[in-house]
Amino acid sequence: MMDGFLNVDKPQGMTSHDVVDEIRRLVLGERVGHTGTLDPEATGVLPIAIGKATKIIQFLEEGKGYRATMRLGITTDTQDITGKIIAKNEKINVLEKRIKEVLKNFLGKIEQIPPMVSAVKVKGERLYKLARKGKEVERPKREVKIYNLNLLEYKPPDIIFEINCSRGTYIRTLCHDMGKALGCGACLKNLVRTKSGIFTLKESHTLEELKKLPNLKKYLMSMDKALGHLPIVKVKERVRESVLNGMPIEASGIQELSSPIKGKELVRIHNSKESLLAIAKALFDIGDLKRIEKEVVSLKPMRVIG
């Protein structure tokens, strides 16, 4: 059995599902899934979940990092360089100072309209499927958060920038919107995902590298490590079976806390041997176990793993 994550450096030209298929051939019989779609033309970090790790994808640390190249003066129907050009501006007179001002204006919470080539569903149908039929429909805005947005290089007509953002942020749409703000139009030319939660480009592995290994376990990140952002609650061995059956955890079954827990916070449930059993939600603040009535239900399992 293989349970854990592979940090794959996705090559250009492959879909995320193509990468999943390649890994599936290397781990015959195991469940395989990816943690977030990366466009075919984009490269970089694509964490792949194997075995029981497919159960915890939604609990992984959020936050994405990218290095992007934006081409000024070109607007396309897909918001990237591969699309059909719908507007072209030959005269670009944008100063670096103005670029930095615009980048600063996109920091924090912003609203985006998902591009027609995205996998978002509208009335039950994927937008990219509608786009293939030549249809364009109204899309609801969604709120995303930009944590950092820094200019790395400006070589007209290209701008290279790095960004850290929330899950669900469309970098192609960001380029399109920044192009509007700059008054010359723009599209995404190149994209590299440098970070996805705990997974970084520096620690990723190419498919060619993985295919040469006799055993992928060498590069497999454990589920526990991947969930390292969640505090640990160690339970007594007598409640192990009930936890694995998805039963609520009473205060009397808790042996130790790695740190004080806030109400509604997600935690890792370990047994006395420090094996990962489940992910649970705290029902209230838990700081001092001695002050909680033993029969009070304190934790609700959200996903059983062990």
Task: Read off the tokens for 114.
Answer: 């998902």
Task: Read off the tokens for 207.
Answer: 């498919």
Among residues 3, 9, 18, 39, which one is catalytic?
39
Q: Which of 30, 31, 38 is nearest to 8 (CA)?
A: 38
- Is 3 noted as a catalytic residue in this protein? no
Task: Read off the tokens for 34.
Answer: 């990816």
Query: What's the sign of the alpha-carbon dihedral 193, 9, 200, 233?
Result: positive
Three-state DSSP class for 155?
A: strand
* Cα–Cα distance, 113 to 176 (Å, whole number): 11
Beta bridge partners of 68: 161, 191
Task: Read off the tokens for 149.
Answer: 């947005």
Class of residue 236 by CB neighbours under 10 A (exposed 0-12, middle 13-18, buried 19+)? middle
In whole angstroms, how large is the CA radius of gyration of the chain?
23
User: Dihedral of the CA atoms 237, 242, 243, 245 (nearest 10)?
Assistant: 140
* Cα–Cα distance, 52 to 72 (Å, whole number): 45
* Cα–Cα distance, 78 to 116 (Å, whole number): 7
Residue 122: C-alpha distances to residues 66, 131, 138 (Å): 27, 12, 9
Q: Active-site residues: which are they? A: 39
